Structure 1
Amino acid sequence: MKLPEPLFVIINPLMRLVLSSPLHFVASGSLLLMRYRGRRSGIWRTTPLRYVEDGDVLRCFSSRNTLWWRNLQGGAQVTLTVRGKRQGCEASVVTDQERARALLAAYLDEFPQDAAYHDVSLTPSGQPDPESLERAASNSVVVEARRTP
């Protein structure tokens, strides 16, 4: 079920509060907080995001219609709060469309409930429909954050 966009005005601050509190365990298995600096404004912002972990890389997915990810183009230092712990990371946007499509497919295999947010139809077996996945990949953004020592 896809939540209406206006609800995120309420949900995002609530998730920021929960994920930065001792109660983070309620949601931190699949959600993190990403703190990044606005390229032009210089203002630090924090956004909750669903993530998948692949070794030392954390991947987050978003729509191209959102603006936050543009601050990470070309690479940026960010702070992630993952499972209640803060860590510095170098974040960047995946620009290779074929790779982004494959990463989106793997993400939707893990979180099929998020298919609606990317306008991806699922087959009766619960797999992403190839045609809608292809369309979604061109409208989606993959952000990779690598842990820094």
Structure 2
Amino acid sequence: MSQSESANAALPDVRVFHWMNRAIRPLLASPLHRLVSKRLMLLSYTGHKSGRRFTIPIAYFAWDPGTVLAMSSVLTWIPSMRSGPTVQLRIRGRERDAVPAVVEDRGELADLLAKFARRNGSRAARALRLGLPGDRQPTREDLEAASAKTRFVVFHLTP
């Protein structure tokens, strides 16, 4: 098996995500959202190229007051966040408007990952599946290597 084949074998098939999204999206929009809304929210936005409206479930973390943090190594929705348009989030059953700020600078990403690991613990940092250790706080080298694999979006909630 070639190196690219083995790397692709480790990633779930995109069809699995599409199927899961179809099941999770209506659940998050329903009164039963509590089953999954502790860690998942709905993001509704307009595509930057197509102009189409999308609603996708994404993992999130409550961050600072009035701020929600989301990350993705799948970058399909990230470009639509770069222009900073107001988007809609459905968090724990409540609709909220938010202004996204994409963090792409490797140093800033490493800093955010370090802060995440301090706040949530090394096991939670490992669960991000970016190669961070789960048995100790990550070193700067660990954080910089992990920052190459992801982007963060900080959503500033509007009142």
Runs of 5+ unmatched residues, structure 2: 1-9
| Residue 128 of structure 2: aligned partner | 115
Candidates 82, 103, 106, aligned match of 1:94 = 103
AA aligned opposite 1:115: L
Structure showing greater Rg: 2
State the Cα RMSD in Å: 2.2
Q: Show the 5 A alignment for 1:1-149.
A: 4-6=12-14, 7-53=16-62, 54-63=64-73, 65-108=74-117, 110=120, 111-112=124-125, 114-116=127-129, 118=130, 120-125=131-136, 127-128=137-138, 130-149=140-159
Tell me which moved more, 6-15 or 42-51.
6-15
AA aligned opposite 1:8: F
Q: TM-score when scaled to structure 1?
A: 0.83
Q: Determine if contact 2:106/2:144 at 8 Å carries over to the other structure.
A: no
Q: d(CA) in 2 for partners of 1:88 and 1:78?
A: 6
| Equivalent pairs, count | 144
Q: TM-score when scaled to structure 2?
A: 0.79
Q: Determine if contact 2:125/2:134 at 8 Å carries over to the other structure.
A: no
Q: d(CA) in 2 for partners of 1:66 and 1:98?
A: 19
Deviation (angstroms), 1:108: 4.9
AA aligned opposite 2:133: L
Q: Which has the higher contact order (CA 8 A, sep 6+)?
A: 1
The Cα offsets for residues 29-69 of structure 1, whole Å up to 9 and x where unpaired, read as: 11111111001211111111111112101110011x42111
Matched-pair identity in %? 31
Structure 1: which 4+ aligned runs deviate by more than 6 Å? Answer: none
